[in-house]
């Protein structure tokens, strides 16, 4: 099951609107949203999110701007991905994001859409770093291929660098870069010494397979990508308000929690799987997952829905679980799972349960050791 490809396939809808004067500063929400390779000094308002995208002019000194080939400029690709910045010179080129709050958690997301911009018909493979810390190898397959990479890290300084490193397998480039501040209570798995590298953030049960949920539905602007499997799953949903539990440390958005899936075969299990994404610099990734649940059906008091979550035949959580009616809750681990080449998840009803299992959403991350996440001290002046 190539779960990872779901992230790549789905790009945001076209957006275009007004023009804004820009500066290399976070906006009032602390967001930085960069359209890499955009010519000039003026940005624009994205009409889907109402977020303002700015050119990358003030964030990096190196590289050259390009447009993707016209045949790839389709409505399925957002305007931001029509252009990019590539870095033919130098082994390591960085963007510097400034005016941050030292010690805060940040979500950092980078988008890569190749679109045969160089006419070489050969997407490059290169490495992406947050400061000195390796995040991932960017490996785009196919001329119309795209990659979206995300890290959640504690940034110890008032700036952070995002760096593209040439590994001798093509010219690094980047299409878009976002930074979103997160409250320190969110994502307790993220510490000064450990970040998270997003593998997938899936919303089970949306009605359309292009319906990505992000800002403003998610105030933190995480991107929740649909995972749809009508052959095995049926959708259950509610239009009623779903609340977050008190002291929620993940704050899943309402719209994600209003939909869930249940097995089409009511006596069957919910089953899905992913393969470890192995790469030379991270050959045995350690995964963690956050499993999100909300009961979306009002059940009579004598009707029980209760289930177990199994990973490769072992319990993820040592007890059975019953979702709360219209409250967003989750099961998560602080430590990575045992490392396997593949991860089979099976959610099965307990013998006391009168209803099949459900699940609303899942996030899967690999852990990323971090030291001094901001930068190489030698790099600060250079960008």
Ligand X SMILES: *[C@@H]1O[C@H](CO)[C@@H](O)[C@H](O)[C@H]1NC(C)=O
* Of residues 188 and 340, the one with the C-beta less far from ligand X: 340
Min CB(267)–ligand X separation in Å: 4
* Of residues 21 and 267, the one with the C-beta less far from ligand X: 267
8 A C-beta contact, residue 80 and residue 56: no
* Of residues 283 and 300, the one with the C-beta less far from ligand X: 283
Min CB(216)–ligand X separation in Å: 5
Residues 119 to 138 in contact with ligand X, rule: CB under 6 A:
125
8 A C-beta contact, residue 248 and residue 328: yes
Interface with ligand X (CB under 6 A), residue from 42, 141, 207, 210:
141
Min CB(315)–ligand X separation in Å: 5
Interface with ligand X (CB under 6 A), residue from 319, 334, 335, 381:
319
User: Of 158-166, 226-234, 322-330, 341-349, which segment contacts ligand X by CB under 6 A?
Assistant: 341-349
8 A C-beta contact, residue 374 and residue 157: yes
For the chain, how many helices (H) and strands (E)? Answer: 2, 26
Strand partners, 235: 261
Q: Per-residue contact track with ligand X, 224 to 263, x per CB under 6 A?
A: ----------------------------------------
Min CB(39)–ligand X separation in Å: 5
Q: Per-residue contact track with ligand X, 275 to 304, x per CB under 6 A?
A: ------------------------------
Q: Return d(Cα 278, Cα 78) in angstroms, integer.
A: 29
Residues 174 to 213 in contact with ligand X, rule: CB under 6 A:
none
Burial of 70 (0-12, 13-18, 19+ CB in 10 A): exposed
Q: Return d(Cα 177, Cα 300) in angstroms, integer.
A: 48
Reading the block at residue 313, the tokens are 């035949």
Q: Return d(Cα 70, Cα 73) in angstroms, integer.
A: 5
Min CB(122)–ligand X separation in Å: 12
Q: Return d(Cα 127, Cα 184) in angstroms, integer.
A: 28
Residues 76 to 95 in contact with ligand X, rule: CB under 6 A:
83
Residues 12 to 71 in contact with ligand X, rule: CB under 6 A:
39, 50, 65-67
Q: Is 265 in the site for ligand X (CB under 6 A)?
A: yes
User: Of 183-191, 326-334, 336-344, 373-381, which segment contacts ligand X by CB under 6 A?
Assistant: 336-344
DSSP per-residue string spanning 119-164: SS----EEEEEETTEEEEEEE--STT-EEEEEEEEEE-SS-EEEEE
Burial 168-177 (b: 16+ CB within 10 A, else e): eebbbbbbbb
Interface with ligand X (CB under 6 A), residue from 116, 209, 244, 310:
310
Rounded to 10 degrees, the C-alpha dihedral 319/325/363/221 comes to -150
Q: Is 354 in the site for ligand X (CB under 6 A)?
A: no
Residues that bind ligand X (CB under 6 A): 39, 50, 65-67, 83, 125, 139, 141, 169, 216, 265, 267-268, 273, 308, 310, 312, 315, 318-319, 340, 342, 344, 348
């Amino acid at each position: 099951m190539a779960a990872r490809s779901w992230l790549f396939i789905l790009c945001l809808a076209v957006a275009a609107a007004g023009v804004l004067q820009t500066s290399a500063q976070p906006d009032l929400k602390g967001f930085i949203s960069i359209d890499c390779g955009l010519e000039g000094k003026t940005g624009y308002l994205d009409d889907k999110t109402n977020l303002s995208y700015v050119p990358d002019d003030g964030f990096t000194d190196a590289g050259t701007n390009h447009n993707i080939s016209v045949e790839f400029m389709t409505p399925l690709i957002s305007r931001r991905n029509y252009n990019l910045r590539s870095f033919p010179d130098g082994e390591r080129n960085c963007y510097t994001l400034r005016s941050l709050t030292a010690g805060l958690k940040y979500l950092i997301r980078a988008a890569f859409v190749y679109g045969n911009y160089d006419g070489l018909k050969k997407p490059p493979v290169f490495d992406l770093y947050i400061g000195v810390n390796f995040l991932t190898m960017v490996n785009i397959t196919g001329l119309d291929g795209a990659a979206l990479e995300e890290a959640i890290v504690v940034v110890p300084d008032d700036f952070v660098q995002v760096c593209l490193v040439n590994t001798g397998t093509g010219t690094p480039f980047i299409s878009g870069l976002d930074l979103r501040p997160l409250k320190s209570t969110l994502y307790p798995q993220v510490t000064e010494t450990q970040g998270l590298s997003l593998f997938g953030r899936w919303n089970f049960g949306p009605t359309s397979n292009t319906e990505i949920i992000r800002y403003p539905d998610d105030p933190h602007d995480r991107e929740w990508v649909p995972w749809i499997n009508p052959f095995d799953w049926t959708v259950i949903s509610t239009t009623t308000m779903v609340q977050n539990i008190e002291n929620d440390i993940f704050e899943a958005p309402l719209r994600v929690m209003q939909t869930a899936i249940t097995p089409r075969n009511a006596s069957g299990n919910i089953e899905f799987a992913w393969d470890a994404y192995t790469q030379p610099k991270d050959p045995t990734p350690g995964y963690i997952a956050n499993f999100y649940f909300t009961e979306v059906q009002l059940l009579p008091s004598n009707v029980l829905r209760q289930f177990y979550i199994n990973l490769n035949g072992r319990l993820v959580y040592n007890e059975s679980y019953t979702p709360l009616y219209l409250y967003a809750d989750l099961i998560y681990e602080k430590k990575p799972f045992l490392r396997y080449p593949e991860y089979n998840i099976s959610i099965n009803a307990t013998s006391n349960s009168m209803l099949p299992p459900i699940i609303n959403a899942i996030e899967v991350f690999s852990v990323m050791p971090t030291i001094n996440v901001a930068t190489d001290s030698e790099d600060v002046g250079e960008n």
